């Protein structure tokens, strides 16, 4: 929602003139042209809703109630108040307890919570983020980093929003580099507590959601020091406001003020001036300090301990990716429906002008993004399941996939909303059609919960680490030979006639697509791992510097990884479907995803002799053909998202 406007609250802030057209006209657009869908739309929606259709439906019902209607033009204070009110309404449904432990009356059902969060992505995004801060970050940190004392003391009140809180990790001078943050927590035996302190301006906590106005308690991340020993970043519960909302002694709070979007969330900065925190308020699941000042942790390696704590944030990344994809779905629904009713230009002889969706360039703009939204839907569902069932040996796999999907999904949302805005022309620029708010509200998704570029580096680093685990122990020469041999094996297809094969059936074969996607990922991994080794061995660089030198190449590897995994998951998800027409519609989207990606990356395949010119050009033609085919089903494919009209709200799409 765009923030506005006038101090005159009754007029909606718009001066002058009637808001509608003259009485004589029917104020409407032509009907949306719906081809009879070749598949069962409700069946597809059921497939997308999955096993959590009940909570999705009940949230949609809630959000369709009049009190959840987007306010036309609130000022900042009223917008924040509205979002807080909505947050409390949502809490009253029991949502906050969905993922909490049974000991506090919770359902311990994280997948259900994520399904709910995904559904809130169809509505006002300030509400989504407020819920995410209160339940996912604040209550979530207490649940995951704390122990029973903290659970019993805080979670019930957090679930009802009686206790509002915030998650104070990021600092002005340290965003993505959490290990480098500067806020300190020094143990003081004589008071049986910690002194939490902000040593400088730039160590102030920044962009903290809920901190600007509403939070009373903060989960604060600080460098723990016990008896002169530094133990790295740990989390502490620090009260920041009294019951009347006044900052407590030693706490300085500054409002972050207006933002590009998400203005219904009160972000703020926090500084601590030697604030005393009782020892028990340290979140001590992974480490604690005894009254006599002994630091104890079951995890001996400080690096491992840090990443274990931070690793509990992984569900936040999955949730953000899922809700970002909901926004992409909203934007696509708006733009595709508008494209199916708005006409422009046409052959001189035609009775009617051409529908926007019938322009090939329009199809090329929107259809690949529709395929991405579907592909991500299945990839994120698999991620949620994996996160539930994974054993401790899969921690890195989870971290890698969640980071990659969060980055891919949020970048994809930014690109999608942008393309949809342009595809709707001037209508897309009017606030009433909602793309403005979707665009502004989600722009920060690529930055928060881990900056996307930093996350993609993490992906690449994990892939290198995994490989190095495999070759560990090999002598250097042997390792070099192994890497070279692997690379040759991977690139074997270029030695064969396969590279000249440009037939449609071949290119539409899922396993052929998968083979090419895997080939590139694998080859980049082996090549960059060798380059990394060489930089360290020959130029005597430390790992950080070698990594920095190869940064663009390693980011390329991370992109190849995520494309490959998404395609594989998509194929896995549709293989068992028994509803053939549905399966074939989804297969077309999977084809568009794979073919589009291969075509986009064709320069690499050409450079490496994997594709012939004929094959490369055939992929381009095939992509256009798939866009044309998907266009025929596009409106039905957006209908299957099942976004309530009350949430969509854009007049051009209804």
Tell which positions 258-297 bind its own copies, by CB under 8 A: 258-261, 263, 266, 268-269, 271, 273
Give the Cα separation of 143 and 101 in Å (integer): 8
**Least Å distance between CB 405 and its own copies?**
18
Site residues (CB under 8 A) for its own copies, limited to 414-433: 414, 418, 421-422, 425-426, 428-432
Window 381 to 400, contacts with its own copies (CB under 8 A)? none
Enumerate residues 621-650 that contact its own copies by CB under 8 A: 624
* Residue number, 485 or 545, with CB nearest to its own copies: 545
Q: Please, which residue, 14 or 537, has the CB nearer to its own copies?
A: 14
Of 49 and 213, which has the nearer Cβ to its own copies?
Answer: 213
Residue owning tokens 């590009």 = 260
* Pattern 556-585, its own copies, x by CB under 8 A: ------------------------------
Of 22-41, which residues contact its own copies (CB under 8 A)? 22, 24-29
- Tokens standing for residue 100: 């909490």
CA quadruple 445, 450, 452, 455: dihedral sign: negative
Q: How far apart are CB 544 and its own copies at their closest, in Å?
A: 4
In whole angstroms, the minimum distance from the beta carbon of 514 to its own copies comes to 21
Return d(Cα 641, Cα 637) in angstroms, integer. 7
Binding segment for its own copies (CB under 8 A), chosen from 120-128, 375-383, 545-553, 638-646, is 545-553
Q: For the segment 320-349, give every residue that binds its own copies (CB under 8 A).
A: 342-349
What would the x/- binding string for its own copies be over residues 62 to 101, using CB under 8 A? -----------x-xxx--x---------------------
Kindly provide the b/e burial profile for residues 61-93, where b requires at least 16 CB atoms within 10 angstroms of the residue's own CB. ebbeeeebebbebbbeeebbebbbebbebbbee
Closer CB to its own copies, 33 or 288, in the complex? 33
Contacts of residue 13, Cβ cutoff 8 Å, sequence gap at least 6: 4, 5, 6, 72, 73
To the nearest whole angstrom, how small is the minimum distance from the Cβ of residue 464 to its own copies?
A: 16
Task: Kindly indicate which of the ranges 52-60, 548-556, 569-577, 585-593 contains the residues binding its own copies, using the contact rule CB under 8 A.
Answer: 548-556
Cβ proximity of 256 and 268 under 8 Å: yes
Task: Report 160-179 residues binding its own copies (CB under 8 A).
Answer: 170, 173-177
Judge whether 321 and 410 are in contact, CB under 8 Å. Answer: yes
* CB of 619 vs its own copies, minimal distance in Å: 10
C-alpha distances out from residue 412 to 165, 293, 558, Å: 31, 49, 15
3-state secondary structure of 274: coil
With contacts defined by CB under 8 A, how many residues of the chain interact with its own copies?
Answer: 118
**What tokens appear for 652 in the block?**
């051009």
Which of residues 156 and 596 has its CB atom nearest to its own copies in the complex?
Answer: 596
Burial string for 197-207 (b: 16+ CB within 10 Å, else e) reads bbeeeebbbbb
Q: How many CB atoms lie within 10 A of CB 633?
A: 21
**Site residues (CB under 8 A) for its own copies, limited to 357-376:** 359-361, 364
Residues 442-461 interacting with its own copies (rule: CB under 8 A): 443-444, 446-448, 451-453
CB of 203 to its own copies, least distance (A): 9
Identify which range of 150-158, 195-203, 375-383, 522-530 contacts its own copies by CB under 8 A: 195-203
Nearer to its own copies, 112 or 439 (CB): 439
Examine residue 408 and tell whether it contacts its own copies (CB under 8 A): no
Which residues 604-623 are close enough to bind its own copies by CB under 8 A?
A: 606-609, 613, 616-617
Beta bridge partners of 254: 269
| Nearest-approach distance from CB 52 to its own copies, in angstroms | 31
Written in H, E and C, the secondary structure of 331-356 is: HHHHHHHHHCCCEECCCCCCCCCEEH
Measured CA distances, 27 to 33, 104, 258, 551 (Å): 18, 53, 35, 54
Do 260 and 443 contact (CB within 8 A), yes or no? yes
Give which of 279, 283, 253, 248 is closest to 266, Cα–Cα. Answer: 253
């Amino acid at each position: 929602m765009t923030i506005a406007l006038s101090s005159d609250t009754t007029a909606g802030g718009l001066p002058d003139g009637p808001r509608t057209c003259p009485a004589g006209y029917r104020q409407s657009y032509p009907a949306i042209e719906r081809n009879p869908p070749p598949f069962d739309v409700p069946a597809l929606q059921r497939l997308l809703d999955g096993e959590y259709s009940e909570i999705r439906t009940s949230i949609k019902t809630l959000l369709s109630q009049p009190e959840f209607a987007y306010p036309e033009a609130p000022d900042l204070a009223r917008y924040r108040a509205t979002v807080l009110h909505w947050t409390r309404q949502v809490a009253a449904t029991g949502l906050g307890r969905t993922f909490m432990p049974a000991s506090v009356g919770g359902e311990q059902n994280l997948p259900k919570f994520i399904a709910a969060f995904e559904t809130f992505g169809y509505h006002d995004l300030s509400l989504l983020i407020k819920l995410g801060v209160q339940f996912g970050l604040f209550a979530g940190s207490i649940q995951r980093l704390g122990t029973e004392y903290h659970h019993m003391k805080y979670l019930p009140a957090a679930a009802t929003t009686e206790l509002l809180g915030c998650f104070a990790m990021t600092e002005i001078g340290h965003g993505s580099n959490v290990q480098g943050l500067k806020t300190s927590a020094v143990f003081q035996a004589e008071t049986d507590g910690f002194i939490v302190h902000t040593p400088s301006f730039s160590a102030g906590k920044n962009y903290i959601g809920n901190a600007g106005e509403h939070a009373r308690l903060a989960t604060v991340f600080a460098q723990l020091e016990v008896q002169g020993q530094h133990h790295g970043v740990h989390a502490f519960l620090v009260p920041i406001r009294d019951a009347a909302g006044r900052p407590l002694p030693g706490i300085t709070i500054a409002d972050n003020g207006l933002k590009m979007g998400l203005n219904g969330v009160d972000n703020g900065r926090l500084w601590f001036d030697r604030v005393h925190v009782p020892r028990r308020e340290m979140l001590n699941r992974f480490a604690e300090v005894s009254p006599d000042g002994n630091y104890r942790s079951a995890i001996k390696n400080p690096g491992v301990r840090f990443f274990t704590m931070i690793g509990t944030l992984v569900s936040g990344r999955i949730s953000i990716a899922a809700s970002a994809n909901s926004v992409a779905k909203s934007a696509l629904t708006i733009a595709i429906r508008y494209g199916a009713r708005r006409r422009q230009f046409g052959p001189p002889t035609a009775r009617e002008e051409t529908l926007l969706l019938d322009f090939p360039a329009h199809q090329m703009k929107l259809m690949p993004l529709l395929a991405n939204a579907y592909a991500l839907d299945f990839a994120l569902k698999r991620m949620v399941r994996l996160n539930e069932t994974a054993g401790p040996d899969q921690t890195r796999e989870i971290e890698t996939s969640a980071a990659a999907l969060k980055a891919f999904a949020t970048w994809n949302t930014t690109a999608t909303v942008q393309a949809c805005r342009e595809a709707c022309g001037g209508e897309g620029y009017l606030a009433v059609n909602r793309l403005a708010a979707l665009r502004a509200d989600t722009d920060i998704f690529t930055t928060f919960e881990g900056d996307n570029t930093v996350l993609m580096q993490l992906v690449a680093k994990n892939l290198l680490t995994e490989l190095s685990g495999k070759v560990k122990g090999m002598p250097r020469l042997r390792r070099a030979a192994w890497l070279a041999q692997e690379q040759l094996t991977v690139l074997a297809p270029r030695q064969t006639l396969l590279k000249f094969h440009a037939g449609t059936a071949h290119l539409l074969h899922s396993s052929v697509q998968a083979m090419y996607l895997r080939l590139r990922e694998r080859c980049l991994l082996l090549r960059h791992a060798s380059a990394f080794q060489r930089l360290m061995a020959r130029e005597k660089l430390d790992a950080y510097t070698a990594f920095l030198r190869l940064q663009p190449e390693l980011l390329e590897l991370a992109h190849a990884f995520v494309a490959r995994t998404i395609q594989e998951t998509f194929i896995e998800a549709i293989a068992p479907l028994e509803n053939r027409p549905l399966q074939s519609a989804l297969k077309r989207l999977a084809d568009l995803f794979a073919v589009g990606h291969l075509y986009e990356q064709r320069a690499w395949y050409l450079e490496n002799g994997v594709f012939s010119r004929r094959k490369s050009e055939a992929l381009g033609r095939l992509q256009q053909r798939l866009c044309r085919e998907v266009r025929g089903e596009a409106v039905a494919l957006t209908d299957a998202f099942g976004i309530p009209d009350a949430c969509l709200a854009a007049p051009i799409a209804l």
